[in-house]
Copies of this chain bind each other. A is one copy, B any other.
Amino acid sequence: MLPLRAGLGTGCPGGGDALSTRRRGGVLESAIFTATLHELATAGYGAFSIEGVAATAGTGKSAIYRRWASKDELIAAALDATLPSLPEAPDTGSLRGDLLVIMRALGRLINSECGSAMRAILSNPADAEKLAVIKERVMVRRRQTMLDVVRRAVARGEARPDAVCRRVLETGPALAMHRYLSTGRPVSDAELIAIVDEILLPLIRA
Contacts and interface: CB of A to CB of B under 8 A. Distances in A.
Interface stretch (A21-29, A100-108, A123-131): A123-131
Nearest to A194: B167
A152 interface: no
Number of copies: 2
Interface string A123-148: 11111100100110001000000000
Secondary structure type dominating chain A contacts: helix
Contacts of A127: 184
Interface string A173-206: 1110111011111000000001100110011011
A43 interface: yes
A122 B125 contact: no
Contacts of A47: 46-47
A44 B122 CA distance: 10
Given A46-B43, A131-B184, A165 B198 contact: yes
Contacts of A199: 167-168, 171, 203
Contacts of A150: none
A130 to B, nearest CB: 10
A164 B42 CA distance: 37
Nearest to A120: B123
Given A42-B125, A123-B181, A131-B183, 12 more contacts: A43-B125, A44-B124, A116-B125, A119-B125, A126-B184, A128-B184, A162-B198, A167-B198, A170-B178, A171-B174, A171-B175, A174-B177
